[in-house]
């Protein structure tokens, strides 16, 4: 079974600059999308989904929540179950603020390396922890890799895998201005943005969002979570959300 990776955004963007073609065209050459995985959500309206990985974190998550509140934006927080312990109040604040909780696994590890039995066990355990604060239905595999057996397990447990289309490699590169410019270049209706929480990365995300969200608003974009964007898309198609 072929492995798939979604976190190629900036590399593709730089290659596109060199070769004079669109990053989306290169994406299709490198990654074969699986219809069971959500990369973006089709919509005719200027709405995008913001997703934030690796929380909760005692210091950076409250800062991110404050920025989102100030700019009237919501997000899907892909939380690591191990990080919840000691941060239960922060997770409650995420839900109480109108944000969505997604499942990023039990531990900060590449999910595809676990094997099917271990992966399913960790999925169940992380779901038990996160379900205390909401009803997670989206799963983002650690490190962005997935395989067919993972998708089968997720489906059995009522989860949908979600990756993204706009990833500025903020987990690797510390330059918030570059990340902002990259996101503004790549953004389009239905896009899914990937950013990160935790320590310095979370602090950079708060700083980035404080400048990015007004830019997106000036362009007419509304920023929300995955489920709201999907519901909007289904309504456009005449389906029942």
Query: In this structure, what CATH number is given to the domain that contains residue 186?
Result: 3.20.20.370
What pLDDT is stored for residue 238 in this prediction? 77
User: Residue 234 is inside which H or E element, if any?
Assistant: helix 226-236
1 found inside a domain: no
Q: For residue 98, what are the CA distances in angstroms to 37, 91, 116, 179?
A: 24, 11, 33, 25
3 found inside a domain: no
Mean pLDDT of 96-115: 94
Number of domains in the chain: 1
Domain span holding position 202: 9-236
- CA 131 to chain centroid, in Å, comes to 18
What pLDDT is stored for residue 101 in this prediction? 98
33 found inside a domain: yes
Q: Quick check: 83 pLDDT over 50?
A: yes
What pLDDT is stored for residue 32 in this prediction? 62
Mean pLDDT of 171-184: 94
Question: What tens digit of pLDDT does each residue of 58-75 get?
Answer: 999 999 999 999 999 999
In 31-147, which residue ranges form alpha helices assigned H by DSSP?
60-70, 88-96, 116-130
- Is-contact 150 112, C-beta < 8 A? yes
């Amino acid at each position: 079974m072929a492995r798939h990776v979604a976190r190629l955004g900036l590399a593709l963007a730089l290659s596109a600059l060199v070769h004079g073609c669109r990053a989306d065209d290169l994406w299709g050459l490198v990654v074969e999308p699986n219809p069971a995985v959500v990369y973006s959500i089709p919509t005719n309206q200027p709405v995008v989904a913001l997703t934030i990985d690796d929380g909760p974190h005692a210091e950076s998550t409250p800062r991110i929540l404050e920025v989102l509140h100030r700019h009237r934006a919501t997000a899907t927080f892909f939380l690591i179950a191990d990080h919840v312990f000691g941060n239960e109040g922060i997770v409650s604040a995420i839900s109480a603020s109108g944000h969505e909780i997604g499942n990023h696994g039990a531990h900060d590890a590449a999910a595809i390396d676990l094997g099917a039995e271990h992966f399913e066990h960790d999925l169940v355990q992380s779901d038990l922890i996160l379900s205390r604060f909401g009803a997670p239905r989206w799963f983002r595999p650690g490190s962005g890799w997935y395989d067919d057996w993972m998708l089968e397990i997720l489906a059995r447990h009522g989860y949908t895998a979600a990756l993204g289309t706009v990833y500025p490699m903020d987990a690797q590169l510390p330059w918030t201005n570059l990340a902002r410019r990259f996101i503004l270049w790549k953004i389009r209706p239905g896009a899914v943005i990937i950013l990160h929480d935790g320590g310095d990365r979370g602090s950079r995300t708060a700083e980035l969002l404080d400048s990015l969200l007004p830019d997106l608003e000036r362009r007419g974009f509304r920023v929300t979570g995955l489920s709201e964007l999907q519901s909007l898309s289904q309504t456009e198609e005449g389906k029942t959300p």
